[in-house]
Structure 1
């Protein structure tokens, strides 16, 4: 599907969803509404960078790369607080339309359309969807905004977070049983154009436009007993421009290529055994055209005791770039999380994070820091 065709499909779908949500209900249960909300507050306890980092006050801690959320030494409640509402209208047993709008405190609670797609159940095993969805780079990508769905205040930032979050296109999902393993396979393609990209605000002093074209990928989730595993592969063409000058950043202006090739690999394995849990994930971003490759992992071990859950997590992120060996980002972290279930739909969390900056001497990055954060997460 070309970018133009993706836009036509998305525009038509949004119109369809809007018409469905405003039309009189054909049946009492044709329209289903749900939502989620998180109120998150955080404060940097200590850090070794005292001068500002671009537009951010320091000492500082990056909590969400994808949306440009950083904490400073004063208590802040807007960086990760959010509210989302999702509606699904069922036209028939096989056809439905879904839309989700999310407002985030970090950008002034501006309502953004995160999901807008139509679903058609081909049979009991296959579902086809067309529209706008979350790009499934990571294990928690599909429900990363729903804080109630995981133990942490936020999925580990060393691993979770990249410049593109959503895509416009189509996907086909298969569900079945493979010799006792519950299998879910997803295949997708599309594109995304991000103007004034939120993650690039962390790395550039001027606004940046980022485009991922020809996105193609798939992921496979296998579950059996206490174990859930996931593997993913995504490839795309990447372009980036400086909005203020119009100059191309990726690929460089002197490159004969019009776009840079990218490949993403990911593996995860999660265990839930009685009251114990293990959370692990590993990802690679490979842009070998200019000798760039990043690796990131996280490993967490926790236990549930009544309404409380404790989780200790270790993370690491490292870049390799032969063109800029002293400008590579390298950081690691530890976090300790305590979650308390207020009821079946609301939880309170307390989390302590330690971030260690080991980046190259030529990269003036955010430095070491420690963060304390608390959240109230609910679904409705």
Structure 2
């Protein structure tokens, strides 16, 4: 199995093949392989969900990388949370192993064509030091190692305010993980380097090069804490025509393009989170900071969540928010003194720029839900979200119509059946 650097919250005790998230699984597979030759194992996970949103001028969705959601496109949408994942693990001996994971969910083009989420080779240098090469999960956020596995967390979906801040879940490159203990404190320090390219809408794409960072996890009894730092060189050609248009206006337009365009732009992301789970209840939360110096904005993100287990039933509450530390609108070029045709073009460009800046999320969400573990490896979840985009922002909504009005509450009802096998 792919070995994440910390276990998910306890929901409930899962088998090695089911959770895809315990160090002991990989160790057991390696020992078995050394005794009887290479060992191949197969596992999978999935979510069958439906979501309803009260809004009609935009779509609510779980990721900005999706094509559609609930609201404008469909009153009841299966695309928000549904996915299927399959995984192959190969343990060659005590040192060498490999993993291949494919996930099918709605993409930015609306298709469900499977994509390779993980594909890497692991070399266990020592019992405490390991190296991986290939496509690897980005170790950012608490649920980074299992964010696609709905069964591994209590909610219908991870808080979109936090996890949409970095919608990328993997990169192609290398990483090194080192385990070390200080008394009862168990530590894992991970360094990583890589790159990735993702398709977006309208034949646009996202390319991130020089993705590098550190992630550190400390565990003590029922408490787990994780902090991470990531930097990347980011390019997004989604608004290239807009900024090429600004550059035609000389120095003032070039200055605007340089200020907001994402063309080999340095981006930093920092996060810190904790999860405390003594068994009957849990409390978890994260803080994040994104700096981009572009139309993506500089943002603070945070959430807190708690729940209590009554046997197989776990009700929970959450609150999440994202708030920018940058402008969400700009006057753009002043058309004053321009010839009529140039003034018109400048006004149109300014309108597109401000529509782009409105994608900088300013939003809060209150969540109430419950998880019912029907049987081992199968859980039913229902959830209500009160989503409030603010300050002229569309928040995490997509497919926004021209008549969309910010500062209106969006009510979202969701149900999902999560399973692992």
Q: TM-score, normalised by structure 2?
A: 0.73
Aligned-pair CA distance for 1:339: 0.4
Counterpart pick for 2:274 among 256, 269, 272: 269
Contact 2:328 2:393 in 1 (8 A): no
Counterpart pick for 2:123 among 117, 120, 124: 120
Tell me, in whole angstroms, the C-alpha distance in 1 between the residues paired with 2:80 and 2:296.
Answer: 33
Structure 1 residues 152 and 184, CA, compared in 2 at 3 Å: closer, same or farther?
A: same
Q: Indicate the residue corresponding to 2:101 in structure 1.
A: 100
Instruction: Pick the structure with more helix per residue.
Output: 2
Structure 1 residues 69 and 225, CA, compared in 2 at 3 Å: closer, same or farther?
A: farther
Tell me, in whole angstroms, the C-alpha distance in 1 between the residues paired with 2:262 and 2:415.
Answer: 46
Contact 1:291 1:323 in 2 (8 A): no
Which whole-Å deviations, capped at 9, do the CAs of 1:34-91 have from their partners, x for residues lacking one?
11011011111x23xx44xxxxxx4x32322243552126222233211111101122
Q: Indicate the residue corresponding to 2:310 in structure 1.
A: 305
Unaligned runs of 5+ in 2: 1-34, 247-254, 331-353, 396-403
Q: Indicate the residue corresponding to 2:133 in structure 1.
A: 130
Tell me, in whole angstroms, the C-alpha distance in 1 between the residues paired with 2:393 and 2:294.
Answer: 24
Tell me, in whole angstroms, the C-alpha distance in 2 between the residues paired with 1:165 and 1:359.
Answer: 29
Tell me, in whole angstroms, the C-alpha distance in 2 between the residues paired with 1:345 and 1:179.
Answer: 34
Tell me, in whole angstroms, the C-alpha distance in 2 between the residues paired with 1:362 and 1:374.
Answer: 24
Contact 1:359 1:365 in 2 (8 A): no
What does 1:44-193 align with in structure 2 at a 5 Å threshold?
Answer: 44=53, 46-47=54-55, 50-51=56-57, 58=58, 60-72=59-71, 74-105=75-106, 107-161=110-164, 162-193=166-197
Aligned-pair CA distance for 1:273: 2.8
Tell me, in whole angstroms, the C-alpha distance in 2 between the residues paired with 1:191 and 1:133.
Answer: 10
Which whole-Å deviations, capped at 9, do the CAs of 1:164-211 have from their partners, x for residues lacking one?
33210000011222221111111100111223x2xxx5xxxx442111
Aligned-pair CA distance for 1:135: 1.6
Tell me, in whole angstroms, the C-alpha distance in 2 between the residues paired with 1:237 and 1:365.
Answer: 34
Contact 2:63 2:167 in 1 (8 A): no
Structure 1 residues 231 and 362, CA, compared in 2 at 3 Å: closer, same or farther?
A: closer
Find out whether 1:208 has 2:204 as its counterpart: yes
Aligned-pair CA distance for 1:359: 3.0
Instruction: Pick the structure with more strand per residue.
Output: 1
Structure 1 residues 254 and 268, CA, compared in 2 at 3 Å: closer, same or farther?
A: closer
Partner secondary structure for residue 215 of structure 2: strand
Find out whether 1:377 has 2:418 as its counterpart: yes
Which whole-Å deviations, capped at 9, do the CAs of 1:309-339 have from their partners, x for residues lacking one?
1110000011222483684531100111100
Contact 2:215 2:229 in 1 (8 A): yes
Counterpart pick for 2:381 among 329, 346, 349: 349
Partner secondary structure for residue 139 of structure 1: coil
Aligned-pair CA distance for 1:151: 0.4
Partner secondary structure for residue 151 of structure 2: helix
Find out whether 1:30 has 2:31 as its counterpart: no
What does 1:240-251 align with in structure 2 at a 5 Å threshold?
Answer: 240-242=236-238
Tell me, in whole angstroms, the C-alpha distance in 2 between the residues paired with 1:98 and 1:240.
Answer: 30
Structure with bigger gyration radius: 2
Tell me, in whole angstroms, the C-alpha distance in 1 between the residues paired with 2:328 and 2:70.
Answer: 31
Find out whether 1:324 has 2:329 as its counterpart: yes
Partner secondary structure for residue 77 of structure 2: coil
Contact 1:151 1:337 in 2 (8 A): no
Aligned-pair CA distance for 1:292: 3.3
Aligned residues: 337
Higher mean alpha-carbon deviation, 336-345 vs 161-170, is at 161-170
Contact 1:209 1:243 in 2 (8 A): no
Partner secondary structure for residue 64 of structure 1: coil
Tell me, in whole angstroms, the C-alpha distance in 2 between the residues paired with 1:63 and 1:286.
Answer: 22
